[in-house]
Amino acid sequence: MFVRDWLARRAVLSRDRLAIADLATGAKLSYRQLDERATRLANGLRETAGVGAGDRVAVLSTNRAAILEAFFAAAKLTAVLAPLNYRLTASELGYILSDCRPQVLFYETEFAGVVAELRARGLVSQAIVFDGGTEDGDNAANAAGGGAAGTGGENYEALLASSSARAVEVESFDPEMPALIIYTSGTTGHPKGAVLSHRMLAWNSINTNLAWDIVSTDVTTVHAPLFHTGGFNVLTLPLLHIGASVVVMPCFDAARVLEVIERHRCTVFFGVPTMFQLMLDEPRFETTDFSSIRYFISGGAPCPVPLIEAYQRRGVSFLQGYGLTEVGPNCFKLGLEDAVRKAGSIGFPMFHSAARIVDREGADVSLGEVGELWLSGGHVCSGYWLNEEATAAALQGGWFHTGDLARQDEEGYYYIAGRVKDMIISGGENIYPAEVEAVLHAHPAVASAALFGLPDAKWGEVPVAAVVKRCDATPAEIIEFCATRLARYKLPKQIFFVSELPLSASGKVLKRTLKEQFEKHLLPAST
């Protein structure tokens, strides 16, 4: 059985337990209070904005409790929340809004100018502002046409106050109904909207809570953006599913995160390696009280061993995982006992997840060989919004084709070798970036690194690396270090030193950006 209205059920089972502490507003909401607010919002959206089953509700805002209220309100109505990347330009947002056509848009005052531009282009007909307590905020909201569906400038809190708290009923419910549309980062072109159903979100939570031993007394921060699966689905919804507590931060700030972990006695914490490195670099890292933490969870990219060991010296252990927007971010787990021994591995599939590694013909590869990772289970998405071609390419025969290259070692542990599109073929030899990057990260002077291919007249393409240094080293020294650990054809042809790597909202390196930046700088002669 699937429950449409998680929050109403949780409000009964965990009535006065803290659900959300919102650092943006200072609000602290119990499950009963959160459910009442989401119910009022659902009724307000239905009555004043005409939102019904299948309608899209968009949101443009940094993290705040109201985004989660909007998600649960939409779920009550069997409508669909479409959180928008607030880092995008109006032009980029225009493409997404043209694709999902929301019935209403919630927004933060900071983005009022963008919303005004989108309204002028006819892409937003109804907009509701979350905040606006200052004179500038009020003016910006008015400029954007803020307010609920022509209610004379009524804002979010006013809409809740004027709406009913009666239970929300719907004509029908099917667990395959979409609940979220999360747009991919668009690193290969226009973003695609991954359709996440009620069924998918339930199974992602079940997998997460089973594999990571999540309990109702757990506390975590929500610092990854809520327009990304890392914000919604790594820990936030699984913890709210089980009746635990989340501390919502507007955005990631390393110093602030360390403070919040200590003050709110967080027990579990998710981050990508870049976040953990930034936290490690903070002066207060050495004095932060981590005694409440059961473990940290690293995902998004292999976590370098030196980083894991630095945290272990502070008494903190790591779990590592793997996932995608389309199949949920929690599909694999590497346990605490293997964090160093199997560093770089993603471990094994979650309890309710099946995995295959296949060749180009779809046949299972032998142990140790690299192939594409396919996944199957209730945690798989329904495809892409209004994109039958992309859906058909990704979902075939009950399996989701991840586009990630993987292998298993002799003990059966899984490793990600890179993206299919990022694999480098040099002189007919396949080079898997993750393998080379792991060696680069082992060099004491390398803080972070990314391997990518550049065109070469002789070899087709050759591997080069962008490196962020932690101390002095020459390109020759780093390449020589790699030469003792890697075959010659895998060695970076050049090392480009950079101050930082370009990252997507999820913290993944944008290799296409690096290729565009450095493709004119490759040495002309390759040997």
CATH (domain of 502): 3.30.300.30
Q: Tell me, yes or no, whether 395 and 450 share the same domain.
A: no
Q: Which pLDDT does position 305 carry in this prediction?
A: 83
Q: How many domains does the chain have?
A: 3
Q: Residue 521: name the closest of 470, 457, 454 by CA.
A: 454
pLDDT of 456:
83
Is 17 a domain residue? no
The 10 Å CB-count burial string (b at 16+, else e) for 451-462 is: bbbbebeebebb
Q: What is the pLDDT of residue 461?
A: 87
* Residue given tokens 């690396």 in the structure block: 465
Q: Could you tell me if 479 and 497 lie in one domain?
A: yes
201: CB partners within 8 A, 6+ apart = 179, 180, 233, 237
Same domain, residue pair 429 and 354: no
Whether residue 372 is found in the same domain as residue 225 = yes
Q: Is residue 165 part of a domain?
A: yes
**Is 178 inside a domain boundary?**
no
Pair type for strands 345-349 and 429-431: unpaired
Residues 376 and 508 in one domain: no
Contact between residue 352 and residue 375 where contact means Cβ atoms under 8 Å apart: no
pLDDT, position 137: 36
Contacts of 265 by beta carbon, 8 Å cutoff, 6+ apart = 219, 292
Q: Is residue 189, in this structure, part of any structural domain at all? A: no
Tell me what pLDDT residue 506 has.
Answer: 67
What's the pLDDT score for residue 132? 54
Same domain, 332 and 241: yes
Where among 156, 173, 190 does a domain terminate? 173
Block means of pLDDT (10 residues each) for the chain, 527 residues, are: 86 97 96 98 96 98 98 98 93 94 96 94 94 42 41 72 96 96 72 96 96 96 94 97 98 96 97 90 96 92 84 91 92 91 91 96 95 96 95 95 94 89 83 89 93 86 94 95 90 94 80 86 53
Asked which of 385, 419, 453 is the last residue of a domain, the reply is 419
What integer pLDDT is reported at residue 274 of this predicted model?
A: 82
In a domain, 223, yes or no: yes
pLDDT of residue 191: 86
Range of the domain at 237: 200-419
Tokens 């009724």 correspond to what residue?
43
Coil vs helix vs strand at 60: strand
**Does 370 lie in the same domain as 239?**
yes
- Going by the DSSP 8-state scheme, the letter that residue 168 receives in this structure is P
The answer to whether residue 46 sits within a structural domain is yes
Q: Is 181 part of any domain?
A: no
Coil, helix or strand at residue 293: coil
CATH number for the domain including 374? Answer: 3.40.50.12780
Shared domain for 427 and 479, answered yes or no, is yes
**152 shares its domain with 68:** yes
Are 351 and 378 contacting, i.e. CB atoms less than 8 angstroms apart? Answer: no
Instruction: Among 379, 396, 419, give the residue marking a domain's end.
Output: 419
Instruction: Report helix, strand or coil for 152.
Output: coil
Element holding 247 (H helix, E strand): strand 245-248
Q: Are residues 430 and 415 in the same domain?
A: no
Q: For residue 271, list its beta bridge partners.
A: 298
81 and 157 fall within a common domain: yes
Backbone angles phi, psi at 112, to 5 degrees: -60, -40
- Same domain flag for 453 and 387: no
Which CATH number covers residue 163? 3.40.50.980
pLDDT of amino acid 281: 92
Is 406 a member of any domain? Answer: yes
